[in-house]
Structure 1
Amino acid sequence: MIIGDGIADAAEMDAPARPGNFSRRAFLVGSAAGLGALALAGCATSGAMTLAEAEKVYGPLPNERFPVPAVNVSKINPKYLRRTVRYDTKEVAGTIIVDPRNYYVYRVEGDGTATRYGANVGRAGFLWSGDAYIGRKAEWPIWTPPKEMIQRQPEVAKYAGGMAPGLGNPLGARTLYLYQDGVYTLYTLYSTIMPETIGKGISSGCVGLLTQDMMDLYSKTPVNTKVVVLPA
């Protein structure tokens, strides 16, 4: 199932407000103001995973609330598998940088490197860019489509009261919610068990990582972490 915009979570965690960097409208329409100052030069890799390594990293997660199956790594381009890369940036360690043009999400490690994850991103018409921060986090969240999405896709109206957590829930096992000025932007970083979506534009602005990658990023990302979404 494809994520829509305006995802709501009935099991949300409290989020402290923090001043944002620019207007909500600018965030939604994809303003790139202020991003030109970023010194980004990412990205010679430190070496790709072997098949054996990938099968271990992306293996099953039987102890989760809803057991997560292993990723069929044959369905994903190897360049989108998790790896450490050289990444020059002025952003501090822990910052998340989304590169929708190349279908990557980076976590800055602070030593001239970053952890790079393959991602799916917003399809045409739903691309955006700018600065935000993680306002809240959730494990196995409930998904509620917004009114705007129900109008576009009437078939999701049956979930207007919320879709229960589980492998069929579009948000998956872990979700990071993007905020500005104390307000939820309607965009998320979420987890998916569908490797065939990585490296594609499929969602209504949200960004998906393989569940095993999202769990790795989620565990290292506290509330208030800065997120930079580069222009597509």
Structure 2
Amino acid sequence: MTTRLAPPACSRSVAVRIKTGTRSALRMRRRFVLFAAFAFVAASAAAQTRSGYDPRSWTYDEAANAVIPPSSLGQADDTEEDEGPPPSWSPVPKQVVRYSDLQPAGSIIVNTGERRLYYVLGNGKALRYAIGVGKEGFAWAGRDKISDKKEWPDWRPPREMRSRVAATGKSLPAHVAGGPNNPLGARALYIGNTLYRIHGTNQPWTVGNANSSGCIRLTNEDIIDLYARAQVGAQVIVRQ
């Protein structure tokens, strides 16, 4: 007759400890994976918010019957990637300056070569703002009037712009509702019956550059200030 001996109690306790340790390690591993995934999502959302758009603010494009993520909306006047401000970037403050051009008070004079806009105050003075202007091939000059003013304007890229962007393999939406993620920024002044506007931007570090399709960009802070001063019917003179 063969007698089976039970394993020593210490052996059973070791086996229990090994199994318990394995389950604990698995639980810790699952927790670590969940934590890492959460951290990744949070970091991605924060990075997207810092880059100028909120990942929750997707836009429905009725013309294309598609939902457009803000990351693909681009700028109002170009389709460069959203690269964030340079480390040394800081806005150029508006400034009251002496101005000898004999234009009526309330006139807006745009000097594209200087990349400055002047709002004529009268008595030999003007308020000077830094601006972004048309890139090479899109610069223009002329005289017109402010035909309309809008707060947080919608953006409807012209068909020509959409076709030009489509030729590069990218796309632009037919319509983007006004708001903090809109490329036109906080305010817009419409110039006559043209497609040109004086508007804000959600990428203020682009102000001072020649990177638009002809529109004049100011920081949101400056366009809000200019919007409060400028009147519909005021003359706009654009000089190269």
TM bucket normalised to smaller: 0.5 to 0.7
Identity across the alignment (%): 41
Alpha-carbon RMSD: 2.0
Give the aligned partner of residue 76 of structure 2: 3
Q: Does 1:177 align with 2:186?
A: no
Q: Does 1:91 align with 2:103?
A: yes
How big is the shift at 1:73? 10
Residues 121 and 207 in structure 1, CA contact (< 8 A), matched pair in contact too = yes
2-structure distance, mates of 1:4, 1:196: 15
TM-score (norm 1): 0.64
* Structure 1 runs (4+) greater than 4 angstroms displaced: 71-74
1-structure distance, mates of 2:221, 2:205: 15
**Larger radius of gyration, structure 1 or 2?**
2
Residues 155 and 176 in structure 2, CA contact (< 8 A), matched pair in contact too = yes
How big is the shift at 1:130? 1.0
Q: 1:5-51 deviations in whole A, cap 9, x for unaligned?
A: 9xxxxxxxxxxxxxxxxxxxxxxxxxxxxxxxxxxxxxxxxxxxxxx
Give the aligned partner of residue 208 of structure 2: 199
TM-score (norm 2): 0.62
Give the aligned partner of residue 117 of structure 2: 105
Instruction: Please point out which of 118, 124, 128 is paired with 1:116.
Output: 128
How big is the shift at 1:72? 10
Q: Does 1:168 align with 2:177?
A: no
Q: Does 1:209 align with 2:222?
A: no
- Matched length: 158
2-structure distance, mates of 1:148, 1:207: 18
Q: 1:176-211 deviations in whole A, cap 9, x for unaligned?
A: 0000xxxx1100000013232121001000000011
How big is the shift at 1:4? 2.9
2-structure distance, mates of 1:124, 1:163: 26
2-structure distance, mates of 1:156, 1:135: 29
More strand by share: 1
Q: Does 1:130 align with 2:142?
A: yes
Q: Does 1:139 align with 2:139?
A: no
1-structure distance, mates of 2:182, 2:103: 33
